[in-house]
Amino acid sequence: MKYKNWSKFLISCSGIKDIMTKPRNCTDLTSSQRISYNKIIEKKSNSDEISEKEQKTLDVLQAKIDRFNDPELSVAAKKYLIKRYSWSKYNRGTLPTEQKSSFIIKGNELESDGISIVKLRDKVDYEKPTDFISNDYLFGRCDIISKEKRKIVDIKVSWGIHSYLPNYLTKLSEKYWWQMQGYMELYGVNKAEVCYILLNTPAHLLERERAKHTEKYLFGEIDSEKYEEEMEKCDLCYDYSKIPSKRKVLTFSIKKEPIIMESVYKKIDKCRDWLNEFDRQHTLNKKILTSAADYAIFSKESSIESDSDLG
């Protein structure tokens, strides 16, 4: 999508989690802080005079409450926005197929097989939308939808059984939960499912994995024992034909939570303001002044590793 006016910027459903992530140290009051806050508020409501110290405490606690309820954009949100900005502003494309991970390629190639399995399981003739849909804030396209059942389903093809089975032990990821909320809002349905599906890995992707391990072995990155172990995995760990079909689909059900969308739309307004300012600064491209106070050598604290250090 091309944007001349970032005030009309749309968030993808898959990006809702990123923009809704709270910034670091943005927390609600602790139990002891809540007690102190309530005591001071009660004292004021009774028209009792509070001390200067109590007023300062109240100001600090109120600021913490206000920030928790209406935080600034997080680092995760800004990273998402910059990525979308670069795509929209400069038509930066996606990676060519040969540079995509085998996990992504398998998911894309076998999505139709996963859909067929869910259709057979539910005995429902789901539709697969071909076009993206949008409202004034969001855009997206679900995998399949049943208009009669008022339900959408998202298909996640697992790379292997070692990544499929752990889903039984964890909750659905926040990214997918928020994504489904966005889809339900766009399609006007009340139920959604995320289905993890275990399917055999295509032969060409197994050969690709074998080639990776062979290259690592030839360049001395792994020893012969590790090489043989990895090659054995390729031979044995990606054929699941003997596992009953009913055990190869794991489903998470999600209900629509209409009340949260107001906060999502409010956050998107903040994203739009931020993008307009970012675009202005980027267009001006002025020199950025640095200050010694911003660097650890001149501060009371030593340098602390940040997420950005990870690349």
pLDDT, tens digit (0-9, with 9 covering 90-100), for 97-110: 544 577 788 778 78
Q: Write down the pTM of the prediction.
A: 0.80
- Residue 278 DSSP SS3: helix
The confidence score (pLDDT) of residue 305 equals 55
Average pLDDT over residues 195-202: 88
280-298 average pLDDT score: 81
Confidence of residue 236 (pLDDT cuts 50, 70, 90): low
Q: In the structure, what pLDDT confidence band is assigned to residue 214 with cuts at 50, 70 and 90?
A: confident
Residue 97 tokens read as 């197929």
The answer to whether 202 and 102 have CB atoms below 8 angstroms apart is no
pLDDT the model gives residue 99: 47
State the chain's mean pLDDT as an integer: 87
Other CB atoms within a 10 A radius of the CB of residue 134 amount to 16
pLDDT > 80? residue 199: yes
Q: Token pair for residue 68?
A: 């928790």
Structural domains in the chain, sorted by start: 6-91+267-310 (no CATH), 97-201+238-256 (3.90.320.10)
| 75-90 average pLDDT score | 92
Q: Coil, strand or helix: which one is 196?
A: strand
